[in-house]
Amino acid sequence: MDGWIRWRDEDVSRLVLGTVQLGMPYGIANMQGQPSAVEAVRIVEAAWACGIRHFDTAQAYGTSESVLGQALRDLGVQSEAQIESKFAATLDPKDTKGLSESIERSVERLGIDRLWCMMLHRAPWLDHWDEGLGAAIQQARAAGLIRHFGASITMVDEAPLCLAHKDVEVIQLACNAWDRRPVTAGTLAKARSNGQLCCIRSVYLKGLLTLPVEAVAERLAIARDAAERWHALCRRYGISPVEMAMRFALTLDAPLVVGAETAEQVRDTARLASLEPLAEDVLADLAATMDPALDDTILTPNLWEKLDGAVVTPSESHKR
C-alpha cells in the first residue's frame, strides 16, 4: 500500500513510530525492556529509512521525548520530523501558564522548532477548554510552537466529546482486530466527515494479539478463549497473527501508531504495512469468530491492572 495518508493539505505517514518504548519498559508482550540509547537511535534510523516521518511521544512516557530528540539530532533529521506529543495527566487543565510552559519544555527536549500536534492524554480535559486549556493552545499556536491540536481517547465513551469539539483536529484512539468498536460505533466515519484525522494505536492490543495462547492465558487469563479463537482464525487463512492484525488495521485507511523494541521490529512492521488489507469476507469471518469471546474488560487495557493475576508488564522471567 501507499506509505502516506492524505489529510487536508499534507501527507501523513501511514505508519507513525510510537516511542513510549524508548522512554520506559512497556507492553504486555515486551520481552526486551527499555532499549539502550544506541538501540534507540537504530530504531529511529530504521523508521526513517522505511519512510516514516511522523513520531508519537508524550510527556508521561518516561524519557521518551529526550531520547527521541537526541536520536533525531544524531541522524540530522530533526527539522524534517513531524512529532506529536501529549500533556502529562499530572498537569492542571485550568493552569494556562503551566500548560504553556510544558509545551515549551517538550519542544526543547525534542530539539525542534514546532510540534506537529499537541494532544491531550485525557480527553475529558476538553471540559476545561474555556478555563485555561484553550488559552494555552491558542498561545502555542500564535507562538508557532504547535501546528495542530488533538486528543487521545482512552475510553470509548470519550469519542463524542472529541468529535463534537471544533478545535480538535486530530484524534488518537485504539482500534484493532479484536477491538472494532470505533468502526461499529461509527467513530471513524464521523471523524472523517468532520475533517478530523484519526490516528490508530494499539494495533496489536498492547501486544496481546501477537502472543501464543498459553502466554495470553498466563498474563490475562480471561482472554484465553479469545486467543484460541484468534489463532484458529489465523490458521484458517494461513497467515500469522501479526499479519492478520496489521492487515485488519490497514482496512481502516488511517495513520497507524506502532511502537518497537528493536530496529528489526520496525522493518518487519513496515513490510507488513505494505501488504493488502483484509478482504470483506475475512472481516466478516473475523467478527463472527471473535465477538462471542470478547468483552469491554478484555478490550480495555486500562482495566487489566484491576484483574487478579494479570501480568501487564514483563517480569524478569518473561524477559529471559
pTM of the shown model = 0.92
The predicted structure's pLDDT at residue 2: 79
Task: Please report which confidence band the pLDDT of residue 1 belongs to, taking 50, 70 and 90 as the band edges.
Answer: low
Residue 302's alpha-carbon distances to 32, 51, 192, 221, 267, in angstroms, are 22, 32, 27, 16, 29
For residue 140, is pLDDT > 90?
A: yes
Task: Please report which confidence band the pLDDT of residue 34 belongs to, taking 50, 70 and 90 as the band edges.
Answer: confident
Q: Are the C-beta atoms of 153 and 185 separated by less than 8 Å? A: no
Q: 279-310 pLDDT, tens per residue?
A: 999 999 999 999 999 999 999 998 998 776 66
Task: Please report which confidence band the pLDDT of residue 317 belongs to, taking 50, 70 and 90 as the band edges.
Answer: very low
For residue 29, is pLDDT > 50?
A: no
Weakest mean pLDDT among 26-40, 88-102, 111-125: 26-40
Which helix (H) or strand (E) segment is 181 a member of? helix 181-184
Helix ranges (H only) for 143-180 are 159-164
Q: 245-280 pLDDT, tens per residue?
A: 999 999 999 999 999 999 999 999 999 999 999 999
Q: For residue 198, report the phi and psi dihedrals to the nearest 5 degrees.
A: -100, 125
Q: Can you tell me the mean pLDDT for 59-88?
A: 97
Task: Please report which confidence band the pLDDT of residue 320 belongs to, taking 50, 70 and 90 as the band edges.
Answer: very low
Q: Can you tell me the mean pLDDT for 120-145?
A: 97
Q: 167-224 pLDDT, tens per residue?
A: 999 999 999 999 999 999 999 999 999 999 999 999 999 999 999 999 999 999 999 9
The predicted structure's pLDDT at residue 30: 42
The predicted structure's pLDDT at residue 312: 57
Cell of 191: 471523524
Q: Can you tell me the mean pLDDT for 92-104?
A: 98
Q: 211-245 pLDDT, tens per residue?
A: 999 999 999 999 999 999 999 999 999 999 999 99
Cα(152)–Cα(171) distance, integer angstroms: 6
Domain annotation for the chain: domains and CATH numbers = 11-210+249-277 (3.20.20.100)
Within 10 angstroms of residue 192's Cβ, the number of other Cβ atoms is 14
**Closest residue by Cα to residue 249 from 190, 203, 299:** 203
Weakest mean pLDDT among 56-65, 96-105, 268-277, 308-317: 308-317
The predicted structure's pLDDT at residue 314: 41
Residue 93's alpha-carbon distances to 31, 121, 241, 302, in angstroms, are 35, 11, 40, 21
